[in-house]
């Protein structure tokens, strides 16, 4: 089986073509699966997880072009179309190499303790990525196009049925394929080696060995997959370079068939390697059923304490304790929400086997502990017998009476034997602490502000629930606004994008609350009582207050228990209606047992 490098053409080999065709079909199928997989899990489409998604998208284009050229070659029209398909195919292969380097560069940045929510860090990472795939491939296209007027130019059919640089130009193949592949493999291996060496700077001493082992295992898998795909392509070019592209230059049979299988199956290998870390959490997110509900919890709890991130190549495991909050993993948040959803469907008794201090642990231990908090809220069960924990949101427009209602509800339910926890309004905390709203047109700055606000809101809610759970007593967590409220102040599209970046959706945040009580602003029905003097963070006019009130109400429309309390009968009646609404969902006479 010879690859003859002479001006008249290349031997067409039916065996190599058949193997290449099957491998390319599998590559397209694998890349298509990844696209579908990532489309179903919003967290996987955020930075840095989307880096791996883009790699598989490049594979989809690359091997679709390969399939097209193989089919054309089978129809004996390969020579005439290679001047078009050749540069395109070449550009896609270079883009795949470049993007692999960009993924490694992302880890290199993270190893240097760059917080992943740092805009400058993200800009640098994307600059590397865009430089790799938006500059080099067009240069190759221009390079190929320059030779089109001269006839076949550099590109001609190969034994595999694809179009690529002719064996008559081995140095061109070396510089535009072999050398970039070798440099990328060496760069990726160096990045992982450096990550392993610097682990002690980022994690507690007792976790160093485990984290190093995980990084080495995953890094070896990534580098090995890349090397396996490219080793025979490099070997082929090395043979051609050694024979200087002379007529009669031949590549051994085993190289041709081996490359057909490994190189053109690259999309399949990439799909397998780059989704392996995301599969456990995504399976739960997608609601993969288990025969036994306890197995659902157990399967999540058994995940490694070093939680895999879909797309950051373990970079987010290397977190400096001082900046842990800023480098929290998007995948971790998605897994947490999935675990909560799974545990809510299971008996809460399955949570009782967890160590009491599991919240202080790492990775999945914290996620499962927090999931049990959510389960306690949803099922009304806790250690020592039935002790319901209910989470209620007081929301509405400005000057709706939330603070007065909170005080009234606290007294009413404390007298009935409930421990009442009052969560303060998070935007007010931020403003009073010196935080400044960046403005509705601030773009990414606004997104970062809202992400920080939502993360603080989430942490406060979860902390109150955990404290309530620890007492074993009936408890009521009353919140002065909650996670859906920021949606009233920004566009729906931006709010959805922000939620996705922290692993949530509108539906998932609604599931955190048992009841929503909307207190209509005094500007609507009680205008003489509308004031901005009792809240430094309140600056809205009466008209703006009414508009915001409607927008906030709309934010909670999807909640199954939303009660709107207006101003028709006076403020005292308004307060009593709030108590009645809460009483309808807790263990009170006339309410739910």
3-state helix/strand/coil string of 65-130? HHHHHHHHHHCCCHHHHHHHHHHHHHHHHHHHHHHHHHHHHHHHHHHCCCCCCCHHHHHHHHHHHH
> Is residue 3 situated within a structural domain?
no
Co-location of 558 and 454 in the same domain? yes
Cα–Cα distance measured from residue 96 to residue 56, given in angstroms and rounded to the nearest whole number:
9
Cα–Cα distance measured from residue 505 to residue 495, given in angstroms and rounded to the nearest whole number:
9
Report the interhelical angle of 179-198 vs 78-111 (nearest 10°): 20
Co-location of 575 and 428 in the same domain? yes
User: Tens digit of pLDDT for each residue in 483-528?
Assistant: 999 998 888 889 999 998 888 888 889 989 999 999 988 888 777 7
* Residue 525 DSSP SS3: coil
- Within 8 A by CB and 6+ apart from 317, the residues are 202, 203, 211, 214, 215, 306, 307, 309
Cα–Cα distance measured from residue 226 to residue 163, given in angstroms and rounded to the nearest whole number:
22
> Is residue 523 situated within a structural domain?
yes
Co-location of 240 and 91 in the same domain? yes
> Is residue 67 situated within a structural domain?
yes
Of the three residues 237, 252, 276, the one that is the final residue of a domain is 276
475: which strand partners? 389, 419
Co-location of 361 and 272 in the same domain? no
**pLDDT tens track, the chain, 593 positions:** 444 333 444 455 678 888 888 888 988 888 888 777 777 765 565 655 667 777 778 888 888 888 888 887 654 545 567 777 888 888 888 888 888 887 777 766 665 544 444 444 555 555 566 665 656 666 666 665 555 444 446 788 888 888 888 777 778 788 878 888 888 888 888 888 887 887 776 656 766 787 778 777 777 777 887 888 888 888 888 887 777 655 545 677 778 888 888 888 888 877 777 666 554 433 333 333 332 222 322 222 222 223 333 333 333 333 333 333 333 444 444 444 444 444 333 333 333 333 333 333 433 344 444 444 444 444 443 334 446 889 999 998 888 888 888 888 998 888 888 899 999 989 889 988 888 888 878 888 899 999 999 999 999 999 999 999 888 888 999 999 999 999 988 888 899 999 988 888 888 899 899 999 999 888 887 777 776 555 555 556 778 888 889 999 999 998 988 999 988 878 888 888 999 888 888 754 433 33
Co-location of 404 and 366 in the same domain? no
Q: What is the pTM of this model?
A: 0.47
Cα–Cα distance measured from residue 11 to residue 249, given in angstroms and rounded to the nearest whole number:
12
Co-location of 406 and 338 in the same domain? no
Contact 58, 103 (CB under 8 A): no
Which structural domain, as residue segments, surrounds residue 54? 14-276
Co-location of 367 and 474 in the same domain? no
In this structure, what DSSP letter does residue 587 have?
S
395: which strand partners? 518
Co-location of 82 and 224 in the same domain? yes
Count of C-beta atoms within a 10 Å radius of residue 294: 14
Parallel, antiparallel, or unpaired for β 419-423 and 475-480? parallel
Co-location of 30 and 73 in the same domain? yes
What's the CATH code of the domain at 249? 1.20.1070.10
Co-location of 256 and 321 in the same domain? no
Concatenating the DSSP letter of every residue in 432-499 gives HTT-----TT-THHHHHHHHHHHHHHHHHHHHHHHHHHHHTS-EEEEEES-TTGGGGTS-HHHHHHHH
Number of domains in the chain: 3
- Within 8 A by CB and 6+ apart from 10, the residues are 3, 4, 156, 157, 158, 159, 166, 167
3-state helix/strand/coil string of 565-582? ECCCCCHHHHHHHHHHHH
| CB-count exposure of residue 315 (10 Å: 0-12, 13-18, 19+) | buried
């Amino acid at each position: 089986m010879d690859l003859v490098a002479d001006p008249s053409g290349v031997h067409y080999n039916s065996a190599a073509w058949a193997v290449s065709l099957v491998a390319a079909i599998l590559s397209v199928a694998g890349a298509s699966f990844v696209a579908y997989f990532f489309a179903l899990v919003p967290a996987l489409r955020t930075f840095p997880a989307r880096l791996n998604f883009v790699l598989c998208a490049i594979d989809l284009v690359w091997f679709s072009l390969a399939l097209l050229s193989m089919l054309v070659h089978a129809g004996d029209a390969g020579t005439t179309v290679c001047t078009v398909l050749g540069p395109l195919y070449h550009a896609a292969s270079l883009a795949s190499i470049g993007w692999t380097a960009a993924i490694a560069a992302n880890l290199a940045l993270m190893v240097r303790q760059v917080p992943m929510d740092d805009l400058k860090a993200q800009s640098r990472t994307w600059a590397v990525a865009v430089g790799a795939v938006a500059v080099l491939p067009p240069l190759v296209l221009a390079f190929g196009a320059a030779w089109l007027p001269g006839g076949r130019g550099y590109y001609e059919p190969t034994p595999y049925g694809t179009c690529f640089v002719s064996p008559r130009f081995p140095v061109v193949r070396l510089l535009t394929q072999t050398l970039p592949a070798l440099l990328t493999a060496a760069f990726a291996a160096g990045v992982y080696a450096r990550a392993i060496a610097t682990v002690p700077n980022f994690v507690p001493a007792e976790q160093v060995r485990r984290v190093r082992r995980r990084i080495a295992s995953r890094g070896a898998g990534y580098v090995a997959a890349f090397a396996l795909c490219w080793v025979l392509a490099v070997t082929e070019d090395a043979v051609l370079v050694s024979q200087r592209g002379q007529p009669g230059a031949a590549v051994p049979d085993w190289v041709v068939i081996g490359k057909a299988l490994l190189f053109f199956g690259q999309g399949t290998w990439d799909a397998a390697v780059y989704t392996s870390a995301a599969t456990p959490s995504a399976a739960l997110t997608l609601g993969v059923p288990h025969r036994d509900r306890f197995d659902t919890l157990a399967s999540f709890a058994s995940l490694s304490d070093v939680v895999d991130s879909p797309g950051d190549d373990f970079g987010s495991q290397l977190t400096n304790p001082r900046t842990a909050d800023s480098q929290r993993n998007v995948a971790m948040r998605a897994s947490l929400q999935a675990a909560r959803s799974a545990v809510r469907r299971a008996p809460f008794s399955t949570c009782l086997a967890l160590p009491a201090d599991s919240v202080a642990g790492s990775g999945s231990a914290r996620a499962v502990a927090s999931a049990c908090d959510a389960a306690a809220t949803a099922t009304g069960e806790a250690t020592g017998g039935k002790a319901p924990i209910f989470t209620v949101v007081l929301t509405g427009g400005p000057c709706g009476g939330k603070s007065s209602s909170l005080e009234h509800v606290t007294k009413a339910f404390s007298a009935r034997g409930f421990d009442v926890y009052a969560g303060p309004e998070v935007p007010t905390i931020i403003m009073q602490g010196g935080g400044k709203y960046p403005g509705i047109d601030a773009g990414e700055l606004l997104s970062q502000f809202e992400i920080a606000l939502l993360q603080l809101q989430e942490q406060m809610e979860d902390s109150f629930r955990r404290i309530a759970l620890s007492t074993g007593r009936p408890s009521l967590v009353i919140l002065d606004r909650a996670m859906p409220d920021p949606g009233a102040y920004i566009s729906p599209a931006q709010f959805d994008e922000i939620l996705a970046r922290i692993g949530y959706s509108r539906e998932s945040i609604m599931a955190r609350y048992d009841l929503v009580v909307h207190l209509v602003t005094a500007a609507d029905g009680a205008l003489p009582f509308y004031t901005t003097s009792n809240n430094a963070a309140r600056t809205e006019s009466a008209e703006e207050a009414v508009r915001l009130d409607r927008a906030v109400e709309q934010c909670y429309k999807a909640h199954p228990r939303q009660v709107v309390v207006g101003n028709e009968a006076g403020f005292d009646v308004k307060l009593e209606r709030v108590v009645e609404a809460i009483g309808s969902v807790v263990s009170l006479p006339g309410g739910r047992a």
